[in-house]
Amino acid sequence: MATALDPEIVDYLKMFNCSSCEELYSKLEKIQLEQKLVEGEHVPFSLHDIKHFSTSDRRVDIICDVTFYWGAYKAAELIKDLRKNPPNKSFENPVVHQCSSVIEYRAMNTMISDVDLPGSKYNPVGQGYYSDLFFHMFFGNYSDFIEHIKKLSEEDLKKTLKTREGYPQFSPLFAPIIGRRMIHIENNDILTKKNKEDIRMMYHGNNENKQVKILEKLLKLGADPNAHEILGNTPLFYASHFQYDDAEKVVSTLLRYGANPNHCCQFMSILYRMCTFIASYPQHWRIIDLMLSYNAKPRDYEEAMNIRYLMETKYPLEYAVKLREACPKQKNECERTVCKVSTVKMCKACRSVVYCTPACQKLDWKFHKPTCKKKREEKASENRA
């Protein structure tokens, strides 16, 4: 009896428009031959690995590798088409491209800002069809940006702030947020020395690196902090995409000017994306505090439990506790995150959560203890009042 394919491999078959694992592997080998994406003559895993993906101990590596190949494959086709048919400007939110799976959505997110902007993986110098103003903002040239803005009438300024450019249909706010990577171009090991020299020539060495200042000025002028691109992602989604020192400031600025912390991206909330994306960057953990202070929530119960589990395994206790309180379990479901047993046995100390067994309560105590203490103190205060 044939073994059923793993759902993630089925998703890849759809993305690569293939009907079998053999066809998929053949296409990957062809991409490797044409683009030499990894060192060596062949892709870094076998057809057997794909067919037995569910039991492979290299699942994570294979997902990363296949996503990388898909991005290069898709980008190569897209760049060729964009050179012949530059995208038109528009002045409203684009129709959202609905991805067929979480895997396609993540792959598209990885690829989308690397198609036609400078400093990208697949097209280092980008495309030339963005406006001068967009490039002023992207490269952080505040002086040129202000000079351009001052020449606009009130009506033209409103129109400019709504302009969408490029394949992703970025509004002006996206330019300085993504353009922060230009500040760190010398540290980009994807780009060659020649790539970096070519990119520098685009602004003649006069980059002021004032992307964040431009961002705040745009917001003061009335730019919409909730405008989205073709995947439905807003500027807040991109704010923590590049792990630079100013990430917290960018997120804070957007939230102060009305960015919706609960805008629903495809397949995930912004809160979940930020939790997963900055898990490995302790210097940015305060972004989670910021999001919670603006009442950021998971999109559904399943995601809430995924956030809880992520925080318990990847973050310090302080953040695990905060996210557990923001992502409560369902009524009469055991408080231990990985347990789904229904019960009515309350924690005797705080009587605010339930546990199915003393064993589950003991295993969960490290995470529940701070909340338990807080609940007891709150009740004591109410009784005194």
Taking only the tens place, the pLDDT of each residue in 313-345 is 999 999 999 999 999 999 999 999 999 999 999
**Beta carbons within 10 angstroms of residue 93's beta carbon:** 18
Does any domain span residue 207? no
- pLDDT single digits (tens) 355-373: 999 999 999 999 999 999 9
pLDDT of residue 1: 38
Q: Which of 70, 85, 100 is the last residue of a domain?
A: 85
The mean pLDDT value for 343-351 works out to: 92
The mean pLDDT value for 294-319 works out to: 94
CB contact at 8 A, 298 and 263: no
Inter-axis angle of helices 154-162 and 211-221, to 10 degrees? Answer: 120
Does any domain span residue 5? yes
pLDDT of residue 204: 62
Q: How many distinct structural domains can be found in the chain?
A: 2
Which residue range forms the structural domain that includes residue 81?
Answer: 1-85
Residues in the chain: 385
CB contact at 8 A, 172 and 161: yes
pLDDT of residue 385: 64
DSSP state of 264: B
Does any domain span residue 363? yes
Report how far apart, in Å, the C-alpha atoms of 368 and of each of 74, 268, 352, 372 are. Answer: 46, 26, 10, 6
* CA–CA distance, 293 with 299 (Å, rounded to integer): 17
* CA–CA distance, 54 with 372 (Å, rounded to integer): 40
Query: pTM here?
Result: 0.90
- pLDDT single digits (tens) 8-33: 899 999 999 999 999 999 999 999 98
pLDDT of residue 2 exceeding 60, the answer is no
- pLDDT single digits (tens) 58-112: 888 888 889 889 988 899 899 999 999 999 999 999 999 999 898 899 889 888 8
The mean pLDDT value for 121-130 works out to: 89
Note every long-range contact of 335-339, with CB atoms under 8 Å and residues 24 or more positions apart, other chains counting. 335/360, 335/361, 335/364, 335/368, 336/360, 336/361, 336/363, 336/364, 337/305, 337/308, 337/309, 337/312, 337/364, 337/367, 338/309
Q: Which of 85, 104, 130 is the last residue of a domain?
A: 85
One-character DSSP codes across 147-213: HHHHTS-HHHHHHHHH-BBTTTTB-TTHHHHHHGGGTTGGG-TTS-HHHHHHHHHTTTT-----HHH
pLDDT of residue 124 exceeding 60, the answer is yes
Does any domain span residue 353? yes
Does any domain span residue 6? yes
Q: Which of 85, 117, 148 is the last residue of a domain?
A: 85
pLDDT of residue 377 exceeding 80, the answer is yes
CB contact at 8 A, 134 and 62: no
Radius of gyration of the chain (CA): 24
**Beta carbons within 10 angstroms of residue 362's beta carbon:** 11
